[in-house]
Structure 1
Amino acid sequence: MNRDRFWLTDAQFTRIAPHLPTDTRGKPRVDDRRVISGIVHVLKSGGRWIDAPPDYGPRKTLYNRYVRWAAKGVWVDLFHALASAGGPPVQVLIDSSAVKAHRSASGGKGGSATKPSAAHAAGARPRSTR
């Protein structure tokens, strides 16, 4: 596989390698770095697992490893390992939303006159009598 297709740098993969599961049985595992790159590719592209390029390994392996590692909490450990690398991030994303309000929305029903609190009104004398 072309190393240009890896999503993780050598330094990043070295940082997360100790957090990868080693309790495998049976056939030797497909290369972790290759599979992680395939999983990241599918998640970033928003595509289906079946549409992952074959360079990343068997598509079923990508899906199975993603699901199994999610159940074991491996992804959380990997994210924490990468996030704790230190130093300022290269990119910082800020999400903001702006909601436009109608020009008369500030006063609500009845204008901006102050209203007595419900607790005060509950202890007050009734306003109407029979």
Structure 2
Amino acid sequence: MDYGWVIRRHELSDSEWEFVRPLLPRSERGQKRLDDRTVLNGIVWKFRTGTAWRNVPELYGSWATLHTRFRRWARDGTFERMLREAQTRVMRDVTAKNLHLEELGQFLKARRSELSPTASPPLKRR
């Protein structure tokens, strides 16, 4: 049986990875290390499943590597940067949609007055 789908559903999508990749710190060490996407997928898997570090599948690397990288990123503010950037993008999207809805409302008000000049004025908001 292939249980790969169970693991993959807990991993970051390509668009999620493209979002977080520039927010991750660069390695300043000379030695080759485990790929950041693999490590982050392991960290995400651990928290989405609620398992212990030692039970994270080996395909994400050793649990000690995952835990060390998690603690390092938590200590240096990497996760806080990710959260702030996500909040900024959400607010930007909400603001853009509100502006769009406001423009739509103005269009509908103008259209209503064109169609029915005797229509009652719009209700004032409190």
TM-score (norm 2): 0.59
Structure 1 residues 76 and 14, CA gap change in structure 2 (3 angstroms)? same
Letter paired with 2:43: I
Deviation sequence 1:96-116 (CA, Å, 0-9, x none): xxxxxxxxxxxxxxxxxxxxx
- Partner of 2:20, secondary structure, is helix
**Alignment match of 1:70 (pick from 68, 71, 74):** 74
Q: Is the 8 A contact 1:35 1:62 kept in 2?
A: yes
Which consecutive unaligned segments of at least 5 residues does structure 1 have? Answer: 89-130
In the TM superposition, residue 42 of structure 1 has moved relative to its aligned partner by 1.0
Matched AA of 2:67:
Y
Is 1:81 the equivalent of 2:85?
yes
Aligned residue for 2:50?
Answer: 46
The corresponding residue for 1:116 is none
CA distance in 2, matches of 1:56, 1:82: 25
**Contact 1:16/1:81 (<8 A) preserved:** no
Partner of 1:17: 21
* Correspondence for 2:111: none
* Aligned counterparts, 1:92-111, within 5 A: none
Report which of the two structures shows the higher radius of gyration computed on alpha carbons.
1
Q: How many residues align?
A: 87
Larger relative contact order (CA 8 Å, sep ≥ 6): 1
Q: Measure the CA separation in 1 of the matches of 2:48 and 2:21.
A: 22
Deviations 1:15-64 (A, max 9, x none): 11111111430321211111111111111222111110011112111000
CA RMSD after TM alignment: 2.2
Higher helix content, 1 or 2 = 2
Q: Judging changes above 3 Å, is the alpha-carbon distance between structure 1 residues 53 and 31 closer, same or farther for their aligned structure 2 residues? A: same
Give 1:70 shift.
0.5
TM-score, normalisation: structure 1: 0.57
Q: 1:55 to 1:82 in 2, by over 3 A?
A: farther
For residues 87 and 41 of structure 2, the distance between their equivalents in structure 1, rounded to whole angstroms, comes to 17
What CA deviation, in whole Å up to 9, does each residue of 1:39-94 have, x standing for no partner? Answer: 11111222111110011112111000000110001011122333444457xxxxxx
Unaligned runs of 5+ in 2: 95-126
Asked whether the equivalents of residues 12 and 82 of structure 1 are also in contact (C-alpha less than 8 Å), the reply is: no
Match of residue 32, structure 1, among 32, 36, 55: 36
